[in-house]
Structure 1
Amino acid sequence: MAADSRLSHHIFGTPGSGRLVVLVGAGIGVALDPLPVETAARDICVLAVALGDATMEDPGGYGSETPAEQTASWLAQLIRQTLEQTAAESEQRATTAGLVIYGRAVDVALRAVVELGDAIDRLALIGVAAPQEPLDRDDLAALIAGVNAKALVMNGQRVEGAAAAAAAWYRDHLPSARVEMVPEASELSLSAVWGRVLSHVAPGTIRR
């Protein structure tokens, strides 16, 4: 299956770098570099993918593959293709990537992680909410139980306890996850934590 052209994506950073970082979020703003000074400080290539609301729908009783499931497959294919291109262009022959998931894209992006398997070695979940319905929680928990990527979950502390509970849910259901709560933050922005996020998903890439 070819990657769907409806997925809006943009590449920034250092083309041909041996370390690929994938950023996935909702809304066209995600396709922009969150903090160019932090990105430029590292030898990384960033693939930013912006998902629209229609591509993340997962209605019950849909009868066939839901839009969210289709988007997850398309996203996985796009990441595979970009990894192959990165490996071809880089002397380091990279075979794995780090994935940053922002906000409402968490369900779709985690489905893609499961499909990609060991191709994703590091995960960062930023400003995410836990599934709301019990059945959705059970389904996602079962889906991500085998994810081996080292995961970092970051939420803001000032969200009336909901952010802490959401972060704890992902910590409890991703096999290798830890939580960092950001003080004095409510709705966490990517730019506020981009440097910390890159240190996790792209370690050892600071330019000398």
Structure 2
Amino acid sequence: MSLAPWLDGELGYRSFGAPGAPRAVFVLRTGDVATTDPDARVTALFDVRVVAVGLDAPELEDPPAFGSQTPAGLTVEALQALLEREAPGATVGLVGERAAGPIAVHLAAAMGPIVDRLAIVGVRSPSDPLSRNVRTPLLDHLDAEALIVVGGDGPADHDDAAWYLERMRSAEVEVVPDDEIDSVNGHVTLTSVWERVLQHVAPGAERA
């Protein structure tokens, strides 16, 4: 586990995959498994270096906005610094799962063309007018090609995917069939779609 400065503490992150790979993918997740490899067998099929960052409250509590000094906004600044340090001068892929999805969208918008591919998995659309008003301008600034993944019993459904799809310049939706979801609660997880996500955020990196 490595640590990066954040507010009055540190963000924890871990790297895995191919250390010297030309393509880097940053993964934002929450919970105890946030910095673990979603599926090591799948990761080994790609010539890619993955940097998994663990996020939790309070950095997820307030909606992020450009120039904001909320914990979420300051977290995006810390993630920008981490990305620039871990992949200097490179374009990268970015993944956000569930509660970490809005931070991933904000980070992709803030980094401009540096983040050329984005995948959000099981991410709900804003639930109130304030959050919608905050997040819509972020999507207007999004250069990345996006993959929106939903499926199962939640937390995000077709309506959430449609909300993002309508507001992104370049995006596609993938609905995961129920028989491909093996989580206890029936929710789509990054592990269940890791190969499809890597194909999107690391195009051309599959090993021969």
Q: Identify unmatched segments of 5+ residues in structure 2.
A: none
Displacement of 1:28 in angstroms is 3.2
Displacement of 1:59 in angstroms is 7.1
Instruction: Within 5 Å, give how 1:56-71 maps onto structure 2.
Output: 56-58=60-62, 65-71=69-75
Displacement of 1:169 in angstroms is 0.8
Looking at structure 2, the residues matched to 118 and 81 of structure 1 have their Cα atoms a distance apart, in angstroms, of 17
Contact 2:96/2:102 (<8 A) preserved: no
DSSP-derived class of the 1:79 partner: helix
Displacement of 1:109 in angstroms is 1.9
TM superposition score normalised by structure 2: 0.87
Instruction: Within 5 Å, give how 1:120-159 maps onto structure 2.
Output: 120-159=115-154
Contact 1:8/1:28 (<8 A) preserved: no
Displacement of 1:206 in angstroms is 1.4
Looking at structure 2, the residues matched to 177 and 55 of structure 1 have their Cα atoms a distance apart, in angstroms, of 26
Match of 1:44 in 2: 48
- Counterpart of 1:9 (choices 10, 13, 17) is 13
Match of 2:29 in 1: 25
Match of 1:177 in 2: 171
DSSP-derived class of the 1:130 partner: coil
The one-letter code of the counterpart of 2:163 is: W
Q: Deviations over 1:56-76 (max 9, x none)?
A: 12179xxx7110111011111
Number of aligned residue pairs: 194
Q: 1:105 to 1:59 in 2, by over 3 A?
A: closer
**Stretches of 4+ aligned residues off by more than 4 angstroms:** none
Does residue 100 of the first structure (1) align with residue 104 of the second (2)?
no
Contact 1:171/1:178 (<8 A) preserved: yes
- What value does the CA root-mean-square deviation take over the aligned residues? 1.9
Contact 1:118/1:149 (<8 A) preserved: yes
Identity score, percent: 38
The one-letter code of the counterpart of 2:19 is: P
Q: 1:108 to 1:159 in 2, by over 3 A?
A: closer
Looking at structure 1, the residues matched to 63 and 149 of structure 2 have their Cα atoms a distance apart, in angstroms, of 28
Displacement of 1:3 in angstroms is 4.4
Match of 1:189 in 2: 189
Displacement of 1:159 in angstroms is 3.7
Q: Identify unmatched segments of 5+ residues in structure 1.
A: 88-94
